Amino acid sequence: MLEKVITISREFGSGGRELGMKMAEKLGIPFYDKELISLSAEESDLPEDAFLHYDEYIPALQESLKQHVYSPFSSLYEVSVSDQIFLAQSRVIRRLAEQGPCIIVGRCADRVLENSLNLFVYAKMENRLKRMNSLSTGVDPELMENRIREVDKKRRDYYQYYTGNEWGKAQNYHLCLESGVAGIDGSLNAVLAYLDFVH
């Protein structure tokens, strides 16, 4: 019986979310990705659309300077919206982990939790392009590579900003999976085989 929370960090278009959903179904445990947004909104006083806007977002330097206000003559310390959202999501992630095994995608969950099993899913650009262009994303296929690189950069910067660790570096994870070679089902089988040895 699995006792750990499994976290999944993933390159955009690598199929990490789909892998997580299939794992959750196979293992009979809850799956959380976008669901964390509504749960975190309930946890805080911020509206859900703020979470959608700031999801895996870090403030630009100027915005950060404007929003972080501290005066020695005031008891007020204003925390940026993105920081408030990160803290709210972190509280929810810890609470979910206390409830038992589950799968959590993204949002630095691998660093928020101390005893999780952390996966990183990646694939070559050609495989990611093929995957994303096969979905009804509404993004022009010729622009898709730029979109993939933008999202990866956003995730990398967010992870670095809030954890101080390097996103995608093998040493930061227990298992890294190249989904383009074996596909999602092959990656699922690899994870299940790995789990046989770690719980």
Segment 8-24 shows an average pLDDT of 96
Label residue 85 exposed, middle or buried (CB < 10 Å: 0-12, 13-18, 19+): buried
- Residue type, position 103, single letter: I
Determine the Cα–Cα distance for residues 118 and 113; give it in Å rounded to an integer.
10
pLDDT of 81 reads: 73
% pLDDT > 90, the chain: 59
Q: DSSP assignment of 129-184, as one string?
A: HHHHHHS--SS-TTTHHHHHHHHHHHHHHHHHHHHSS-TT-GGG-SEEEEHHHHHH
- Residue type, position 135, single letter: L
pTM: 0.84
